[in-house]
Amino acid sequence: MTLVCLGNLIVDDIVFADGRTRLGEPGGAMLYTALGASLWGARVAIVAPVGTDYPRATLAALAARGVDLSGLRTLARPGLRAWLRYEPDGRRVEHQAGSPTHDEASPRADDLVAFADARAFHLAPAPRTCQARLVEALSQCTRAFVSLDPHDPVTEASLGDWRDVLARVDLLFLSEEEARLPSLAPDPATALHALAGGRLGAVALKRGERGGVYVDLASGATTPWPARTHVALDATGAGDAFAGGFLAGWPDDRDLGAALTRGVVAASFALETMGARGLLDATRAEAQRRFDAWREAFAP
């Protein structure tokens, strides 16, 4: 299976709630998703414009992990750069002045042509308008499995704008930060059923340190998953790594317990170090050891 990740490559300047900073970190949700999937041996390709300032050592490390970089298109200028500020009530993202627009830094429909035969596509967080264009293009050129992780919040007021996009994807990854729907906390199955329609079959609701819950929209069945890690130093990219680990085999085997375990293992590596270093250094052997140790807790 080839998983094609569509999104942005961003250089992050991170400010933590305790005042610590990490400047010039290679980032972009797609980076963590690709690393989370490739950790399990999935064939992964990333598709995005790439700025001249994106750390080349990180691109080389991705290539060494077997990630296909042929879908990277040079911007011939510095790319997206953002402040990530972790505050007591959540994370704030602010794109820095002088950066390209999201339109300039996001994949175009013609970037997809070389990957028309891929088995699965994942749309990493980006503004809804950018994701809508890619979903439209995918619906015209492939019947592959499509998953999406939004950047713009999903609210009662924005549901009308989201419906056409979500109806053309198979699985939605959604964090509580992005999901602002009534009754979500006490009754996620009912709250998320408002998103049902078209191809959308399930939502993986990510709840950070509380794990999450997988909701089958057809049956209403919910499958919670716990969070696991040895130590939590940096939450940046953990949810995206979870998505990559989950998707590494899901479109083919549909083993929910295994997919959730792969996702949680991938997220655990992201949590244990600053930035993407934990995932870049992670080995398949250690991932498998954690999988074997944790698998029973993630059985549906």
Residues recognised as catalytic: 240
- 135/121 Cα distance (integer angstroms): 10
Please tell me whether residue 53 adopts helix, strand or coil conformation: coil
Please tell me whether residue 200 adopts helix, strand or coil conformation: strand
Report whether 206 contacts 175 (CB < 8 A): yes
Residue 267 to residues 255, 272, 278, Cα–Cα distance (Å): 18, 9, 10
Handedness of CA 253, 255, 258, 262 (dihedral sign): positive
- 25/252 Cα distance (integer angstroms): 33
Q: At which residue do the structure tokens 């064939």 appear?
A: 43
- 257/225 Cα distance (integer angstroms): 9
- 288/286 Cα distance (integer angstroms): 5
- 136/46 Cα distance (integer angstroms): 19
Count CA within 13 A, CB hemisphere, residue 78. 12
- 177/86 Cα distance (integer angstroms): 13
- Alpha-carbon dihedral angle through residues 44, 150, 269, 188, given to the nearest 10 degrees: -120
DSSP state of 244: H
- Reading the block at residue 139, the tokens are 């619906």
